[in-house]
Amino acid sequence: MKTRNILISGASIAGPTLAYWLHRHGFRPTVVERAPSLRGGGQAIDVRGAALTISERMGLLPEIRGAHTRMRGMSFVDGEGHTLMSTTEETLTGGATDGEDVELMRDDLANILHRATRDDVEYRFGDSITSLTEDDGGIHVTFEHGAPRTFDLVVGADGVHSQVRTLVFGEEARFIRHLGTYLSVFTAPNHLNLDHWQVFHQGPGRMAGMFSARNNTEARVILGFQSPPLEFNRRDTARQKQLVADTFADMGWETPRLLKAMWDAPDFYFDSMSQIFMDRWWSGRTVLVGDAGYCGSPMSGQGTSMAMVGAYVLAGELKAAGGDLRAALPAYEERLRGFVHRNQSLASPDMKGPPPREAMQEAANAIRLVDYRS
């Protein structure tokens, strides 16, 4: 069960982070990504706690800090745009405006990680895994487009709707927990001339908002609403846009203008706010990392950090075990479980515990980062 050739499915955050450390530890990673190129768009994400340490060990922390959104604060307005509250102490997307945490756009971080790995790692864009068959000789992979190949290990870093997880562990419905909210995010012109600022309008069960991005040259729109689980095709973007348009049709403030921009947005995102809970993150020659195995949802504010920490620990345990999967995969899970549990609890509706900032510190304390570099 020793391994050298490793296939990673997913090229967002967890996948490239894992690829970086695997290559550094002497493994040969290949990354396959369904999209034809790096996915653009997405919301503002946060690199916090242990993920900052990992970024520093990768030599990427200065570049990550350089992509900081530098949000100054936020406001809530009524249907006519009159300010109801305003603060420079925190934002809805990134929490407190002070401190060491770095908020940046998801696609900016993905690009930073890709640039750090593209010269050393094989990337296969525009393809996806269709089957996995394991025997003593390895795990045999077929692809939607490429020729079949055999690897020693396959890693699912392909998000909350992981194809790898479905192929190996079973249907998504067994593991997903809906948190009662849906979220849409897309890029739009910064027509309000927001200056490193966020503005939101709330109605019963709904919220519309936007914030400036990339030094105010554009904006990202957030449209969220409460709902029980909905049935929709995740590949049918037009239907998803219509669902959002219908839900926000009578919303005040700037919402009609935001909906108009939505129809032309090239990076439209829509999904439920959900978490993934599994009894085990590995089976044989397959293992899951990040959202595929333990999604915390954007409501936790910790998804990016969990993805980066999980990737770092998985690569490190493979190195420590000399590539022996029977030792490395259980060690990866044992080291990470407490950290994941505390982070996921931040988004649980029935969470009982310390206030959010103290809870995040408690989650950070649940992982002690071993330095696997030596």
Judged against a pLDDT cut of 70, whether residue 358 lies above it is answered with no
- pLDDT average, residue stretch 311-328: 96
Residue 12, pLDDT > 70, answer yes
pLDDT at 3: 78
pLDDT tens-digit series, residues 28-62: 999 999 999 999 888 899 999 999 999 999 999 99
- The most confident of 276-285, 300-309, 362-371, by mean pLDDT: 276-285
Q: What percent of the chain has pLDDT over 90?
A: 82
Nearest alpha-carbon partner for 316 in 369, 275, 263, 265: 369
Q: Is the pLDDT of residue 116 over 60?
A: yes
Q: Given this structure, which CATH class describes domain 178-274?
A: alpha beta
Output the pLDDT for position 29: 98
Q: pLDDT at position 354, please?
A: 52
Q: Please report the pLDDT score of residue 114 as a whole number.
A: 98
pLDDT score, position 234: 87
pLDDT at 318 > cutoff 90: yes
**Per-residue pLDDT band at 368 (split at 50, 70, 90):** confident
Mean pLDDT of 204-231: 95
pLDDT at res. 1: 54
Q: What number of helices (H) and strands (E) belong to the chain?
A: 11, 20
**How confident is residue 186, by pLDDT bands cut at 50, 70 and 90?**
very high
pLDDT surpasses 60 at 134? yes
Would the pLDDT of 340 be above 70?
A: yes
Model confidence band, residue 148 (pLDDT cutoffs 50, 70, 90): very high
Looking at mean pLDDT, say which of 82-96, 97-111, 284-298 comes out highest. 284-298
Task: Extract the tokens encoding 188.
Answer: 């739009």
Cα gap 292→163, rounded to integer Å? 9
Q: Is the pLDDT of residue 373 over 90?
A: no
Q: How far is CA 306 from the centre of its chain?
A: 9
Closest CA to 148 of 169, 124, 172: 124
The strand ranges marked E within the chain are: 5-9, 28-33, 44-47, 73-77, 83-87, 90-91, 95-96, 102-105, 122-125, 129-135, 138-143, 149-151, 153-156, 176-188, 197-203, 206-213, 218-226, 269-276, 282-283, 286-288
pLDDT at 357: 61
The superfamily CATH assigns to domain 5-68+104-175+275-365 is FAD/NAD(P)-binding domain (3.50.50.60)
- pLDDT higher than threshold 90 for residue 327: yes
pLDDT in tens, 284-294: 999 999 999 99
What are the angstrom distances between the C-alpha of 357 and each of 95, 96, 174, 266, 361?
9, 9, 31, 35, 6
Same CATH topology for 5-68+104-175+275-365 and 178-274: the answer is no
Q: What integer best gives the mean pLDDT of the chain?
A: 93
Q: Where are the domains of the chain?
A: 5-68+104-175+275-365, 178-274
